[in-house]
Structure 1
């Protein structure tokens, strides 16, 4: 397991706060209430370890297949439905949404290899990630990948807690399946818009792993 580069600053700040509060506690509280200082230490240590876990990148055997789309994020499948895309395609698409809890791995990966033909950041609200309007009203970053005649849109969506979206892709880039697409700090949601009729290989409420679980089969 390694720590993602997006976590270096957050972990450093959290470590400084952890150290300062514990020094203060053991110098000014422990003389009268030693048990309280140890309680503060344990609580702060738990919070620090939890923050470090946000940025973990576990060692995995990735799934590679030119005829498959691989899940771009860890989490739970919360939506599989047809919808009308108003951002890019302007027609009906099959949407699959993956909800990322604070306990999930937060790196996002390319579902397939191809060319980046669209990459756009949108300011917005911070509704809870499972809110029906979060896909269109929340802060988000959308990317369209094209391989041959296949085009898919991957949308990183901020939520009530996740308020920092990082995206690494720019139009004209050629990317490989399972390379890093971006990072959402502290959880949220990723939507994938597929051509209608695409065979989806996941089901509602299924737990999936980014870079490992097969999301769909290309025609």
Structure 2
């Protein structure tokens, strides 16, 4: 396991502010019982910040017929719908909600060329509700496989998450399971599949990024 590059930037800043707060608490409250509770709370918060930015080591099993989960979390939606932003046709949407305790690294669901990346500003509704897919800030990435099949993975900011990081641009090639983005502090990823894809997951199932097989093409 390692710390994600986003954490390398955030963790030192967070620890600095925690240290300042701890110093103030020590100076003003060290003679009171609440001092010990606040010190424990500070340690727990520091541990949670580090835990959030963890990146576990995972062995990815490549398979051209599988669409892998791009994120850890809970499957909160599986439904056919009309995808109006890019495909403009019928697709199957599989949505993964990531709580603040999940790994927030986003992985390519298939191998192929990145042919489309588009960031759209929006609202910050809780990521587990349906309208977050349409109204929240989001970034759509389309991966084109060598047989021409295209898979759209959409990163969606939530009520807490306010920064979507996408590290790819059109023309880049990715390998299935390779990192392509990150979302801070609770969010959602929607995957749009061909209408004839065979879905291999069920509602409320736990997904593991780069491991869980969402669908078979």
Q: Do both share a fold (TM > 0.5)?
A: yes
Counterpart Cα distance in 1 of 2:12 and 2:126: 28
Match of residue 138, structure 1, among 131, 136, 139: 136
Matches of residues 49-198 of structure 1 in structure 2 within 5 Å?
A: 49-147=47-145, 148-198=147-197
Equivalent in the alignment of 2:206? 207
TM-score normalized by the length of structure 2 = 0.96
Please point out which of 40, 43, 68 is paired with 2:41: 43
1:27 aligns with 2:27: yes
Moved over 4 A (4+): none
For 2:148 and 2:22, the matched residues in 1 are separated by 58
TM-score (ref. length: structure 1): 0.96
Give unmatched runs, 5+ long, in structure 1. none
Aligned positions, number: 216
Bigger Cα displacement from structure 2, 8-17 vs 182-191: 8-17
SS of the equivalent of 2:91 reads strand
Query: Contact 1:63–1:213 at 8 Å: present in 2 too?
Result: no
Aligned residue for 1:45, secondary structure, equals helix
For 2:96 and 2:42, the matched residues in 1 are separated by 30
